[in-house]
Every structure is written in C-alpha cells, then in structure tokens.
Amino acid sequence: MQTHYAHLPKILLPRTGIDLSKWAVVACDQYTSQPDYWEETDRLVGDAPSTLRLTLPEVYLEEDDCSERIDAIHQTMHQYLADGILTEQPTGAILLARDTGGPCPRCGLVLAFDLEAYDYTPGAASPIRPTEKTVVERIPPRLQVRQGAAIELPHIMLLIDDPDRTVIEPLYAQRVQFSKLYDVELMQRGGHLTGWFIPQGAQTDALLAALAHLADPAVFAAKYDLTQPLPVLPYAVGDGNHSMATAKAYWEEIKKDLTPAEQADHPARFVLAEVVNVHDESLMVEAIHRVVFGVDTVDLLDGATAFFRAHGADATVLEAVPHELPHGAQAFPFRAGDRTGCLLVKKSPWALPVASLQAFLDDYLASHSQARIDYIHGLDVLEDLSRQPGNVGFALPDPAKEDLFRGVILDGVLPRKTFSMGESREKRFYMEAKAIVPNARA
C-alpha cells in the first residue's frame, strides 16, 4: 500500500561559509515571556545571516512595530535568495541528530507533507491531526508573516508511533554512508545539531514504504487493538501545530485561485516538518505548566474551588502537596510570590489533570479581562515567573507518552498545551527552509 502524505522536498540550506551557530535560532514560539532571551539572541547574531531575520519571535507579536518587522522579514527572504545565501539541495530527505545533553541524541527526518492530508478542525479524521486543540485566534497574526513570504522555516515536529523502529532508526544506523550537511553547536544552551543528506534513491524508497506501512489500516487496527474501524492516524503533530495550521490556512486561501493542475504541485501545498518516533529513547514528553498574570491569589483560588464544586467535584486548597493522593484525585502545586500550596481536586469530570486545570482557567480568564495566561516549559522558569507580584503558577504532572496516540485516536484532540517535547532550549532550531512560491530561486 502506498500513501502520498510524505514527500521528498528540495530543501534550502545556507551556503558554505555561513556561520551556522548564528544562522540557527530556536522556534519563534519559545521564551514568549522572556524578552531577555531574544535580546541576547539578537546580540549574538549581530549582522550575520540568520533565521532570526526570517522569523518573528512571538514575544514581539503585540509590539507596535509588528507590521514593520513582518515587512523586513519578507524583504530579507528575497535578499537571501537573490544573494545566494540560501542554496537549493537536490531532492531528498535530511536525517537529524539533536544532542541536548541527555543519554542519547534525538533522531529525526526532515520531509515535506501534504497539507491536504492535515485538518485541525475538531472531529477531523485526516491522516495528519493535531494532538491538542488548535486555537484559531492564534492563526491570523502568524498568517500575516506567511502572506508575502517566499520561503518557510519549519519548527513542526510530527510524531509517528513506530515501536518496532522501522523508519528512522535504520537510517541513523547507516548515517556514515550519507554526506554530512551540518555539524554545529547551537546558541544559548541549545545543544548540538548534526544533519546528513539522504538523496532520492533506494534508501528514500524504503523510507517512504516504511511510512506507508504505518498507515496501512490493518496494521493500524492491530496496533491499537481496535474493535471498530477508526480513521488511520499515521502522523500526530507533537510540536508546532499552530505553525502547521497557519500553513494550512494559507494554502486554503491561495488554492481557490489555482487550477487543479497548479494545485497538484504548488510548493505552498507542502510543508516541511521533522518526523520523530514517539518511542525515541531521548524523547521526553513533559508537562507544560501554567502561569496566570495580573490576578489576586485568593480570588483565583476561591474561583477554582467554586468552579470545581459547581461541576460536581471537590476542590480544596492545601498548604502542601499530600504525600499520597486519594484514588483518582488530581493535585496542582502552585506558587504565588512567597506563598506555595496545592489545589487538590477530587472526582473531577475531566480524566486528564491538564484538562481539569485548563477548563477552570479558561472559565476564569473569560470573566477577568485584566488577567492573562502563558504556557511555560521547565520548572525553573515557572518558579521565576511565579515569584513575581500578581502572578500565580501551577505545575502539572508529565503525561505518559504511550498514551498520546491512543488518546487522540479514541478521544479526539487533547486539551491545548497538554505536553511538550522537551524544554524550550530543546525545541527545534530553524536550519532548513523551503520555497512556498513558484519559481523562487536560490
């Protein structure tokens, strides 16, 4: 059985001689409450060619000069193409190894994926689906960056459920056969990134066949012990869903004016992404914590207990996390300035702790316009932000990664910001690019 969700792209990479330690910067949706990180990134990059000049860090989305920043991004894209700073590689895939100091590197493959096979709307049955709810209000400002752009730079991570390690791991074992494209230490504790080029040929044929096998309905049904036919899910978006949703929105916008023949191979129809096996030993599925800004601690906690009691649960604010939780109880450790404690919820109508907490916070924020929320990777950052006046931070437990696919298949998308593939510094760094307009020349 063959599927056509994954494709071999022609990837753009910086030409020889570009300082890749300055070229590669972390995904734009990281460090959104830490402008100091991006100021330091700007200092490190200086005047060197960099993906910092091709992307809009979301910390600046609400700045008055956002439109000017977007115009500058578009101009720089065209300049980098015209000056040959970006060069097009032959058709093929890129094998990655990302070392961030753990027991082993994270392995991945950079491929292109058909946006016609992706749908972020609730209840979607598409072969590529988000693991979490897509917040459509987050798409328009990102769409402004894509409109008028000549190229895309991906921070999307697509997960495959490949317990037998049939797709990525065999290629990594053969990596000495492939030409090395980059081998670079990433800035600001980002770790080390190595990439090898896999040209179109026997190895990529085997790669695409192995991916197609994961999408076989019989294989899919047996893996999850399904007793009823359910839509096949070979790919789940683990990171960068709003980036992928923006690419989808842009494609839907422009394809209306294209002929069927033009639609078939238009570069904007295909989005670059890194494919990672959810069973990769280095892949740590971690909780994303919550910080609420501009609130009164007592009012927020009183609101939480009232909310859960109104939904048939029992909620109590404790001074510390219990050593043992009652059966089925959910505990949310919190910090507010110098105060620490725990919100304990029993008999929650939501099975996942993150769903319980997010349901309350969504309700609270809807009636407290002065408050805002941010989603935080890492307990150290959570601690720092929660100590500041007017902030309350909630820590969440790490989810079990083996439940991610089963949860999406059986229950639909998970609550937004349920999990993270590592801390902010471990997120994808922009390195590769791809044209999204016809006849873009490198």
pLDDT of residue 423: 84
The answer to whether the CB of 235 falls within 8 A of the CB of 159 is yes
**329 Cβ contact list (under 8 Å, min separation 6):** 344, 345, 346
Provide the 10 A C-beta neighbour count for residue 189: 11
Mean pLDDT of 193-220: 96
Q: How far is Cα 164 from Cα 156, in angstroms, rounded to an integer?
A: 23
Question: pTM of the prediction?
Answer: 0.80
Mean pLDDT, residues 248-275 taken together: 97
pLDDT given for residue 155 in this prediction: 94
| Structure-token match 């910090």, residue found | 335
pLDDT of residue 412: 76
**Residue 350 banded pLDDT, cuts 50, 70, 90:** confident
Return the pLDDT at 442: 46
Q: Which residue has the tokens 């990594």?
A: 172
Residues 6+ apart with CB under 8 A from 167: 109, 160, 207, 210, 211, 214, 275, 277
Half-sphere exposure of 115 (CA within 13 A, CB side): 26
Which pLDDT does position 2 carry in this prediction? 47
pLDDT at residue 3 in the model: 59
Tell me the per-residue pLDDT of 107-157, one tens digit each, with 9 for 90 and over: 999 999 999 999 999 889 999 999 888 888 889 989 999 999 999 998 999
Average of per-residue pLDDT values in the chain: 93
Alpha helices in 115-201 (DSSP H): 139-146, 168-173
Question: How far does Cα 227 stand from its chain's mean position?
Answer: 31
pLDDT single digits (tens) 293-317: 999 999 999 999 999 999 999 999 9
> What is the token pair recorded at 308?
């859960």
Between the two ends of the chain, the Cα-to-Cα distance in Å is: 36
Architecture of domain 289-395: 2-Layer Sandwich (3.30)
Q: Where are the domains of the chain?
A: 6-285+423-435, 289-395
Which pLDDT value is given to residue 289? 96
User: Which pairs count as long-range contacts for 387-391, CB under 8 Å and 24+ apart, including other chains?
Assistant: 387/335, 387/337, 387/338, 388/337, 389/337, 390/293, 390/294, 390/295, 391/291, 391/292, 391/293, 391/294, 391/295, 391/336, 391/337
DSSP letter for each residue of 413-442? SBPTT-EEES-GGGSPBP--BEE-STT---
Measured between alpha carbons, how far is residue 267 from residues 3, 115, 255, 263 in Å?
19, 11, 11, 9
